[in-house]
Amino acid sequence: MKPFFERIKSLFPAKKKADAQQPQPVSAVNEPITTPRKEKKADRFSIISWAVTVVLVASLLGGTVYYKSTLPPVVVTVAAEATEAASGEGEPIVVNPGMVEDGSGGLFPIIFRKLQVKTNIPERPRYEAEVYRVVRGDSMYRISETYKVKSETILYVNDQLDDNPHSLRPGMELTIPPVDGLYYQWQDGDTFESVAKKFFAEPEDIIEFSGNQIDLTNPTVKPGTVVMVPGGSRELRNWSADLATQGRGTGTGTSEVGGNVCGGGPVSSGFGWPADDHTLSGNAYGPGHLGIDISAPEGANVYAAGTGVVTMAAGGWNYGYGNVVQIDHGNGYVTVYAHLSTIFVSQCQTVGQGGVIGLAGNTGNSFGSHLHFEIRVGGANINPYDIVQ
């Protein structure tokens, strides 16, 4: 290295010597003395020395990083108390990257988490009822999904609905319980066992529900107090019973529940979907709603789910069903199509599967245009999803 720098330095005296041999400027008579301008040349020694320095520093840094990355885990022996608590044998503990001291001689691992843009706030249980104002486009199904309770729970505690989910109206205020169940006003002589039995619930659920604020050491309830009965239920009014099932006649395979009309006719061999849209617009099948509400805008086609005979084609209120059609399919099944805006068929008319029987609408006790569709067997409602998909 030393001869290398000496060779570099030897270049500079030669440069000075060459500069000294140049003739000095001589001023002419009556002329100012002028000095020739020196050419600027790069200081090669400085450039080379800086370059060498940068290379050396980079090499040292790179070597240090490589050396640190190849180091094995550091073995540290912690205090006996911490060791015994950890292993019970006083063995040394291996400290891996990502472990730090806890300030008392022990070690604990660092927990690395991914960066999150939003803070995850855990959902806290709710013990008080909330009031919800119905807006246009709402349905019992959507409200129950929002509050994570069953639609029949909302029917239990809101008398203004009269056990009918189709009674929803914009501006109506609903009480939404914190959990599935119902509210009950305590009466003289009531016990937890008697109340639980009345509403098909468990006494312990009433006592332990925090919203009831019952002293667990001495569980009692004063008469007149309104308590929540978690998991409780009651009978809901069967509105479909008001609209009697119309059978086509004796010996046709359909139970004569509401009447016998039209005599015989074709028998259906299967069922199809009664609308163009296969989604629900509001209420699904359940204790408070013995049919399904299928999405259907005003004027959309409504199709016969199967071959059969029209046993009812009536306009008007019809217990809230509005303009309604019933079809007896001759195999024990009757289908019901409600809230129609227009009816295209008449009583005792034969229809084939997929035939247009009317247009969807918003008649009767309806909250927005849709098709209310029911399937009955022997006059009793069953879940349409068990038959058609």
pLDDT at 383: 94
- Note whether residue 56 is domain-resident: no
In this prediction, residue 254 has a pLDDT band, given cuts at 50, 70 and 90, of low
CATH label of the domain that carries residue 340:
2.70.70.10
Total count of residues recorded for the chain: 389
**Structural tokens at position 23:** 């003739």
Domain total in the chain: 2
Residues 353/355/358/362 CA torsion (nearest 10 deg):
50
- Helix or strand holding residue 67 (H, E): helix 44-69
pLDDT at 39: 47
- Note whether residue 31 is domain-resident: no
- Note whether residue 119 is domain-resident: no
Mapping DSSP to helix (H, G, I), strand (E, B) and coil, where does residue 308 land?
Answer: strand
* Reported pTM: 0.60
Cα 248 to Cα 262: distance, rounded to the nearest angstrom: 5
**Structural tokens at position 115:** 């960066």
- Note whether residue 282 is domain-resident: yes
The residue among 212, 230, 248 that closes a domain is 230
- Note whether residue 300 is domain-resident: yes
**Eight-state DSSP code of residue 347:** T
pLDDT in tens, 333-356: 999 999 999 999 999 999 999 999
pLDDT in tens, 90-119: 455 554 555 555 555 555 555 555 656 666
Instruction: Give the domain range for residue 139.
Output: 130-230
Are 276 and 351 members of one domain? yes
